[in-house]
Amino acid sequence: GSVVPAPHHLSLSASIMRSLTTTIGRCAAARRSLLILLIFTAGILFDAIFIQNPRAILLLSSSGQQQGDVNNFNSFVAIKDTRDWQQQQQQQQDTTSNNNVRSNKNNVNPNLEWCPKAKCDDDGGTEEKEESSCQPCRDKYLFVIATGRSGSTTVMSMLNLLPGVRISGENADVFHQYHSMIETLRSSRYRPFQENKVGPWWHHKIKASSFACPAQEFLRTINPPPSVRKRKRKRNRNRKRKVREDDEHAIITGFKEIRWFRDHDEFKDDPTQMVDAYRRLFPCSRFVFSVRSDIESQAKSAFWNETKSTADKEVQSLITEADTLAYLKDLNAVHVQAYEYLGKDQAFWLDLNEWSAPGGMKKFDELADWLGFSSCKYPDEVGNCWDRKSFTECGEISIGDQCAYRY
């Protein structure tokens, strides 16, 4: 091929260099200064010609080599362009990934093995996801829903034998009040789940899932880990029993409650609404239903025969034993309805008359496995502890030194 003509700025640069060379020959004193200037100028020219305009490299090639050099140059340009494109694509992907993490981080479920169907963000996906610091599915929760005198306190104690589980006792169904607070806002002109532009009620839109995190923080407040001194004493005791435990950083937390349904008119016709109310606040949760199929014995217990001045509201309305039996029968049916609504993945059924019978501790072995624990074995004699005033009267209980959480 023909020689590519030199660009105008290259010819001009050559003229400047010839002039500088002539000047250097005339004056020895100026030679050194101009030599420095020549080197500096040469650096600038090299950058302008070969770095900023790589095609000028072809001017240094002979005509016989030009075709190969053109091919090499095209390859060089293609590689350079490809690398630039790849870098741009990677930067775009990183930006998109970071934006997705920021905008949808409360929609991430880190506990799929525990709550695979949890709705971590109940905005429905109909609107653009907003960044939120609330992550409703970050922690796992377990709730024991029970009838009075169904052995629920023993169930709580049995669960707390599992390493990393901390289930507290009853709390007067305080979370119903939290639920009522949200419903009060929902039914008022406040309209929490949309932007309210009405002057006296003005506020930005509130994500429905954002109400979950204050509820979970409140649960951590009323169900704290033991004090440092108690943890140390417990660790020493467990070391002797060869039981591993982690009370400070519990894997699963929750509470047991017997006053979850009875005094709340909005749940009486449909107990599944109560379940959904809990799941909105604790989306990554499971439920244990504790009942007593022998309602005749249950009706004769002290709880259902308290004096009217000290009894719960529901007990005060039960005049005769027949009233109590009818009430307990209906209450068990409500538990069945809620259990079936949740399904076996999210709910576990415990009947006092089954697990307190000889060999009944296998139910708790099954419960531990359902919760995600392995190699946990409840001793048979624990089944006799449920009717004690305190579970600790049974002495030190070990469910195996290999009992551990699988996930």
More confident residue, 305 or 162: 162
Residue 359 has pLDDT above 50, yes or no: yes
More confident residue, 387 or 351: 351
What mean pLDDT do residues 298-303 have? Answer: 90
Residue 148 has pLDDT above 60, yes or no: yes
d(CA 345, CA 310): 38
**Confidence band, pLDDT 50/70/90 cuts, at residue 147:** very high
What mean pLDDT do residues 21-30 have? Answer: 57
d(CA 372, CA 220): 22
Report the range of poorest mean pLDDT among 106-110, 117-121, 174-178, 376-380.
106-110
Structure confidence at residue 11 (pLDDT): 56
* H helix runs in 205-244, sequence order: 212-222, 228-241
Of the chain, the percentage scoring pLDDT greater than 70 comes to 60
* H helix runs in 246-307, sequence order: 265-268, 272-281, 295-299
Nearest Cα residue to 295 out of 332, 337, 350, 263: 332
Residue 386 has pLDDT above 90, yes or no: no
Most confident of 27-31, 87-91, 283-287, 403-407: 283-287
Structure confidence at residue 77 (pLDDT): 42
**Confidence band, pLDDT 50/70/90 cuts, at residue 212:** very high
CA distance readout (Å), 134 to 142, 295, 361 = 20, 43, 39
Residue 289 has pLDDT above 90, yes or no: yes
Structure confidence at residue 349 (pLDDT): 98
d(CA 309, CA 336): 31
Number of other residues whose CB lies within 10 A of the CB of residue 81? 10
The model's pLDDT over 304-353, given as tens digits with 9 standing for 90+, comes to 887 655 667 667 778 888 999 999 999 999 999 999 999 999 999 999 99
Structure confidence at residue 226 (pLDDT): 83
What mean pLDDT do residues 34-54 have? Answer: 62
Structure confidence at residue 337 (pLDDT): 94
Residue 238 has pLDDT above 50, yes or no: yes
Report the range of poorest mean pLDDT among 43-52, 224-233, 263-272.
43-52
pTM of the predicted protein model: 0.69
More confident residue, 35 or 67: 35
Structure confidence at residue 190 (pLDDT): 85
Is there a contact between 257 and 173 (Cβ–Cβ < 8 Å)?
yes
Structure confidence at residue 311 (pLDDT): 62
Report the range of poorest mean pLDDT among 40-44, 57-61, 304-308.
57-61
Structure confidence at residue 199 (pLDDT): 83
Residue 2 has pLDDT above 90, yes or no: no
Nearest Cα residue to 4 out of 69, 77, 48, 76: 69
Structure confidence at residue 22 (pLDDT): 61
Buried b (16+ CB within 10 A) or exposed e, 115-138: beebbbbbbeeeeebeebebbbbb
Structure confidence at residue 322 (pLDDT): 92
Structure confidence at residue 270 (pLDDT): 85
